[in-house]
A and B are shown apart, each in its own frame.
Chain A
Amino acid sequence: MATKPSDSRWLDCINVILLVLAGVIVMTPTAWMVLSSFKPSHEVTAYPPTLIFAPTVENYVTLSEQTPFLSYAVNSLIVTVGSTLFGLLFGAPAAFVASWTRITWPAVVALMARMAPGTLFLLPWYVMFRQVDMIGSYWALILTHAVITLPIVIWVLLPYFDNIPRSIFEAAQVDGCSPFRIFRRIALPLVASGLAVSAILAFVFSWNFFLFSLVLSNSQTKTLIAASFNFIGEGSTNWGGLMAAATIIALPPLLLAAIVQRWLISGLTLGAVKG
């Protein structure tokens, strides 16, 4: 039975209404968090909740005055940027070699690291880092977070390298280019967009990762995400501060994700889906 045009217009209309509804459900909790963070402290816990209020940055000011929020943020940046660079530096050449020679161990290992529960690694790391007195050091955090970033870089970059026509490499080889030169001068520039996507995804996942810094950081190196726990403890009395903290922590990944949204899904599904 062929559908009548008017029938189809009706369905389109319902389709849009349902999509808007889905968008509202997706957005409301986040909007509520941001809204609460700008409420005056006596109004955050008002019941029934208020929607109209005079916005204030009071919660953000209190947060920066009463907690070492800024130093947590600096710690987060050190660990996240450090582990992202580490992942790129080690992962990009490995992905290039894996793509060229069709060796599979980098992909397999990356997949294993993605599948295993974090605590499985955290137990031996805890013992190892305690032996060398590195618990609480930035290096322990950067190295462990590199276990998140390295697999992301390898998985995101592999298809990019695979897409370069092999004849380009072979021609360069005939001209006497060494593999190292081919990688640096030819392959890397060709996968520049892949590098950007993998860097951003690695950054986001390293930033978001909770478990490792929960155990391996100390009061000096605590990252924002590990400090969330303290904010919740105080949050029982100060919801405004808690929501302000949550908003700031969520901001960098959300902004970065918006930049790469087009390539995000293929990166997040280990290339199983072309987004």
Chain B
Amino acid sequence: MKVEHDHRGQMAAMSMPALVFTIGMIAFPFLYTIWMSFQSYSSTGQVTGWGGENYLRMVADGEFWNGIWITFYLYVLSLVMQLVLGTSLALLLFRAKRLPGIVRSLFISPFMMPPVVAGMMWLVILDPSLGAANWILTSLGLPPSAWLASPVLVVPTLALIDTWQWTPYVALIVLGGLQSLPPSVYEAAEIDGASRRAVFWRITLPLLLPTLVTAMVLRSVDLLRFFDLIYITTQGGPSNHSMTLNIYGFRTGFEFFQLGYAGALMVTLSVLVLGAVMAFNRLRNAVEW
């Protein structure tokens, strides 16, 4: 049938550009990186062999394990802060009922600005000698802090900046979840005389779990690949105390030009991200109602 043939042809033609682009710019490079990660290179960049050398080197590399640890530390710290604060903020917004556009704009401003800009502005605020943050601390009679320059505090400080940026995002997601909860449940709870606390812990929170898991997935994907803010503020320093796996992989590839090894690091990071997403998906299926 000619018409049917024409129909299929046009449908294919409409999706073809995106398909070609996807193969050329996403799928092929993805496979290329995996292939690269199994190649060994000489110091001049010539391919010298094929095998698992990069992965063997990785397992024995202290910097790699440091990267895993820093990535995980930054991830857990940021995620917990953002979920707790974000849910609290969502409950406040939900109770306020009406949310004027200007207030919404205010709350989305941190996460719509480039992370690089957030980094620039916090660098100035957190400057150890002249920054406003230390001025506030000393005015309150507290000792000043080195913030991003401190080996101990650099990860918590980065987590704090990211939390400032992304808590409103988590809050707006959770707010969406709150607004979609069936009111009938609350009416029933009220008739039964449930206390405010019981309503939150026994009804709101369990019903909200799928939304919270969604927020966790979306934040996990970004947090495990945490890059811009670190690169603009500390580049992994002081020494390697904020060298996440992503930063380490980038510097290996584009400062030391060890493409094969950088490829192995990035493949590993991708597997970690994928693993996290899959784990959360199972969790979501478990809490779905």
Query: Is there contact, CB below 8 Å, between B27 and A117?
Result: no
Segment 116-163 of B: residues with Cβ below 8 Å from A: 116-118, 120-125, 129-130, 132, 135, 139
Give the interface size bracket for A toward B: 35 or more
Point out the residues of chain A lying under 8 angstroms from B115, CB to CB.
208, 210
- In the complex, A252 Cα to B124 Cα: how many Å? 22
Interface centre among B11, B177, B277 (most CB of A within 10 A): B11
Query: Is there contact, CB below 8 Å, between A115 and B273?
Result: yes
Point out the residues of chain A lying under 8 angstroms from B282, CB to CB.
none
Which partner residue on chain B sits nearest A245 by CB separation?
B120
Point out the residues of chain B lying under 8 angstroms from A245, CB to CB.
120
Which partner residue on chain B sits nearest A113 by CB separation?
B26
A27 at the interface (CB under 8 A from B): yes
Query: Is there contact, CB below 8 Å, between B263 and A123?
Result: yes
- In the complex, A180 Cα to B172 Cα: how many Å? 38
Looking at the complex, which one of B7, B26, B116, B173 makes contact with A210 (CB distance below 8 Å)?
Answer: B116
Segment 1-56 of A: residues with Cβ below 8 Å from B: 1-3, 11-12, 15-16, 18-19, 22-23, 25-27, 29-30, 32-33, 36, 45, 47-49
| Interface 0/1 of A175-202, CB less than 8 Å to B | 0001110010000000000000000000
Instruction: With both chains docked as a complex, state the minimum distance between the C-beta of A125 and any C-beta of chain B, in angstroms.
Output: 6
- In the complex, A192 Cα to B1 Cα: how many Å? 34
Residues of A contacting B: mostly: helix
Point out the residues of chain B lying under 8 angstroms from A146, CB to CB.
21, 25
B183 at the interface (CB under 8 A from A): no
Looking at the complex, which one of B177, B228, B262 makes contact with A211 (CB distance below 8 Å)?
Answer: B228
B56 at the interface (CB under 8 A from A): no
B188 at the interface (CB under 8 A from A): no
| Interface 0/1 of B224-263, CB less than 8 Å to A | 0101100110000000000000100110011000010011
Segment 207-246 of A: residues with Cβ below 8 Å from B: 207-208, 210-211, 214-215, 225, 228-229, 231-232, 235, 239, 242-243, 245-246
A68 at the interface (CB under 8 A from B): no
B17 at the interface (CB under 8 A from A): yes
- In the complex, A211 Cα to B229 Cα: how many Å? 11
Point out the residues of chain A lying under 8 angstroms from B262, CB to CB.
119, 123
Stretch at the interface among B62-70, B74-82, B264-272: B264-272
B89 at the interface (CB under 8 A from A): yes
- In the complex, A124 Cα to B249 Cα: how many Å? 13
Query: Is there contact, CB below 8 Å, between B25 and A109?
Result: no
A261 at the interface (CB under 8 A from B): yes
| Interface 0/1 of A106-150, CB less than 8 Å to B | 100100111111111111111110000000000000011011001
Point out the residues of chain B lying under 8 angstroms from A49, CB to CB.
132, 135
Which partner residue on chain A sits nearest B3 by CB separation?
A176
Contacts known (A204-B112, A246-B117); A275 close to B176, Cβ less than 8 A: yes
Query: Is there contact, CB below 8 Å, between A47 and B117?
Result: no
Contacts known (A48-B135, A225-B116, A254-B109); A123 close to B266, Cβ less than 8 A: yes
- In the complex, A239 Cα to B139 Cα: how many Å? 22
- In the complex, A69 Cα to B63 Cα: how many Å? 37
B202 at the interface (CB under 8 A from A): no
Contacts known (A109-B27, A264-B108, A273-B177); A1 close to B6, Cβ less than 8 A: no
Looking at the complex, which one of A98, A147, A178, A250 makes contact with B113 (CB distance below 8 Å)?
Answer: A250
Point out the residues of chain A lying under 8 angstroms from B7, CB to CB.
173, 178-179
Point out the residues of chain A lying under 8 angstroms from B259, CB to CB.
123, 126-127
Looking at the complex, which one of B11, B26, B114 makes contact with A121 (CB distance below 8 Å)?
Answer: B26
Point out the residues of chain A lying under 8 angstroms from B286, CB to CB.
none
Which partner residue on chain B sits nearest A214 by CB separation?
B231
Which partner residue on chain B sits nearest A248 by CB separation?
B117
Query: Is there contact, CB below 8 Å, between B120 and A93?
Result: no
Query: Is there contact, CB below 8 Å, between A94 and B19?
Result: yes
| Interface 0/1 of A142-161, CB less than 8 Å to B | 01101100100010000000
Looking at the complex, which one of A18, A118, A228, A253 makes contact with B92 (CB distance below 8 Å)?
Answer: A18
Which partner residue on chain A sits nearest B118 by CB separation?
A29
Query: Is there contact, CB below 8 Å, between B214 and A272?
Result: yes
B58 at the interface (CB under 8 A from A): no
Instruction: With both chains docked as a complex, state the minimum distance between the C-beta of A39 and any C-beta of chain B, in angstroms.
Output: 11
* A-B CB proximity, top 10 nearest: A94-B18, A93-B14, A257-B112, A208-B114, A124-B29, A124-B32, A273-B176, A33-B121, A120-B266, A97-B15
Supplied contacts A26-B107, A90-B21, A268-B218, 18 more A-B pairs, CB within 8 Å:
A2-B190, A18-B92, A32-B124, A33-B120, A33-B121, A106-B15, A115-B274, A117-B227, A117-B266, A119-B266, A127-B36, A178-B7, A183-B14, A232-B232, A242-B120, A245-B120, A261-B105, A275-B172
